[in-house]
């Protein structure tokens, strides 16, 4: 694998669920690209820390717990006519998770299911573009990476 730039990375959304939580299931879906994409935040998979404090010894033991939920922040230049942003806003109003596809600049794809947990508008100052942001609460069991090669 070689390094590649984040430029030309895109995110797309679908209200549909895959029939299977694998590359085949996700690639069968029809996705809508989110326009005016500015940023995709970190996707950090993490295990919870379980700690126990031994009163007698005064020492703490840490164990590896279950996988924690992941939240991904998406930043856009607000475009209310963009079908991808409209679908993201609909996802906020929906109680079901949506499917997402991040297409990296090298052609790799990252698929996952998530709830749209936040839909916000940031106006900024006089010389700023009006922006929107979405917060995605990932379902950890549906994280699939597909290499382009």
Which residue ranges make up each domain of the chain? 10-146
Give the model's pLDDT for residue 2: 82
pLDDT tens per residue across span 126-149: 999 999 999 999 986 667 788 866
Share of the chain above pLDDT 90, in %: 81
Q: Tell me how far apart the alpha carbons of residues 12 and 99 are, in angstroms, rounded to a whole number.
A: 8
pLDDT tens per residue across span 42-91: 988 889 999 999 999 999 999 999 988 889 999 999 999 999 999 999 99
Give the model's pLDDT for residue 1: 58
Share of the chain above pLDDT 70, in %: 96
Class of domain 10-146: few secondary structures
Cβ–Cβ under 8 Å, residues 84 and 13: yes
Q: Is 80 exposed, middle or buried (0-12, 13-18, 19+ CB in 10 A)?
A: exposed
């Amino acid at each position: 694998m070689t390094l590649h730039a984040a430029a030309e990375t895109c995110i797309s959304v679908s209200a549909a669920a895959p029939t299977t939580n694998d590359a085949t299931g996700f690639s069968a879906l029809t996705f809508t690209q989110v326009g005016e994409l500015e940023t995709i935040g970190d996707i950090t998979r993490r295990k919870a820390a379980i700690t126990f404090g031994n009163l007698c010894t005064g020492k703490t033991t840490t164990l590896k717990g279950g996988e924690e939920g992941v939240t991904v922040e998406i930043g856009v230049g607000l475009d209310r006519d963009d079908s991808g942003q409209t679908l993201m806003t609909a996802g906020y109003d929906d109680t079901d998770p949506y499917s997402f596809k991040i297409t990296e600049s090298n052609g790799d794809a990252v698929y996952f299911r998530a709830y749209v947990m936040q839909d916000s508008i940031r106006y900024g100052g006089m010389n700023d573009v009006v922006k929107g942001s979405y917060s995605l609460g990932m379902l950890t069991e549906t994280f699939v990476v597909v290499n382009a090669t």
